[in-house]
């Protein structure tokens, strides 16, 4: 039975699911969601209440939300078990970190992007500075967390959430030089083959980034 992932290569949440699929060599068909593929867009629009990608199709089952897709892979593919730790306490910590990246890194990063889309000529400075301040607080928390916890050499739910979050967040609000552990972790994540593959697949779309993509990474 074939597996299908509906999304876009430039989407951070699509990356999140792709990293898990690539890391464990899980065969699937990628379904592009854009104006040239209306059937795919229609399926995504009907799959969940917000009509957002990524959406994962496993036989007759449709799943939305990247975290749920990763949990599904851990449950259904033996090779991908380690995406979520078997120990319930460690699993709970992994899910907590997953929420940190989605809610406190990805959300303020997206707020900056949305503000530039809302008013491309003159985005509201106060909204952008508020989002950057929220990112700064999260960066500082993550630095302390990394100092107290060793980095995981494997790909888990945490790495799937962290890599796209930190990739794009650093574009809108660069991680300060003083946060050496966080900066190094971002470099390490981007060097891992499943993440590097996502970076390359997204490269043709960089001109779409509303605040302007930096000439790096």
Query: In the prediction, which pLDDT does 169 show?
Result: 98
Q: Mean per-residue pLDDT for 205-209?
A: 96
What local confidence, expressed as pLDDT, does residue 183 receive?
Answer: 98
* Residue 192 contacts residue 155 (beta carbons within 8 Å): yes
What are the tokens at 157? 């739910």
- Cα–Cα distance, 43 to 40 (Å, whole number): 5
182-202 pLDDT, tens digit per residue, is 999 999 999 999 999 999 999
The per-residue pLDDT for range 45-57, each reduced to its tens digit, is 999 999 999 999 9
Average pLDDT on 74-85 reads: 94
Contact 139, 175 (CB under 8 A): yes
Dihedral angle, C-alpha 41, 155, 142, 179, nearest 10 °: -110
Q: How many helices (H) and strands (E) does the chain have?
A: 9, 4
Burial class from Cβ neighbours inside 10 Å (0-12, 13-18, 19+) for residue 95 reads middle
Structure tokens at 50: 């917000």
Q: What mean pLDDT comes out for the span 78-89?
A: 94
d(CA 154, CA 157): 10
Residues β-bridged to residue 57 = 4, 62
Position 152 scores a pLDDT of 83
Q: State the pLDDT confidence band at 150, using cuts at 50, 70 and 90.
A: confident
**Percent of the chain topping pLDDT 90:** 94
Tokens of 82: 């380690």
Residue ranges covered by each domain of the chain:
3-80, 83-192
Residue 1 pLDDT greater than 70, yes or no: no
Task: Give domain 83-192's CATH architecture.
Answer: Up-down Bundle (1.20)
Q: 156-185 burial string, b = 16+ CB within 10 Å, else e?
A: bbbbbbbbbbbbbbbbbbebeeebebbbeb
Residues 148-154: what's their mean pLDDT? Answer: 90
Stretch among 146-155, 163-172, 191-200 having the lowest mean pLDDT = 146-155
Give the tens place of pLDDT for each residue, 35-47.
999 999 999 999 9
CATH number of 3-80: 3.40.30.10
């Amino acid at each position: 039975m074939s597996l299908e992932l509906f999304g876009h290569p430039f989407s951070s949440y699509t990356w999140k699911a792709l990293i898990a699929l690539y890391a464990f060599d899980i065969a699937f068909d990628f379904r592009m969601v854009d104006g040239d593929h209306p059937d795919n867009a229609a399926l995504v629009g009907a799959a969940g209440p917000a009509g957002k990608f990524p959406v994962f199709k496993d036989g007759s089952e449709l799943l939305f939300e990247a975290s749920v897709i990763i949990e599904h892979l851990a449950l259904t593919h033996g090779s991908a078990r380690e995406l979520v730790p078997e120990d319930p306490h460690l699993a709970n910590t992994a899910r907590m970190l997953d929420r940190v990246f989605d809610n406190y890194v990805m959300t303020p990063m997206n707020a900056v992007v949305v503000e530039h889309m809302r008013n491309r000529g003159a985005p509201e400075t106060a909204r952008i500075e508020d989002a950057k301040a929220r990112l700064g607080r999260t960066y500082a928390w993550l630095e302390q967390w990394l100092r107290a916890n060793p980095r995981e050499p494997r790909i888990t739910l945490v790495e799937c959430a962290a890599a796209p979050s930190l990739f794009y967040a650093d574009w809108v609000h660069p991680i300060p030089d003083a946060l050496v552990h966080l900066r190094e972790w971002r470099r390490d994540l981007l060097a891992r083959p499943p993440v590097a593959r996502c970076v390359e697949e997204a490269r043709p779309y960089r001109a779409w980034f509303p605040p302007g993509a930096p000439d790096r990474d």
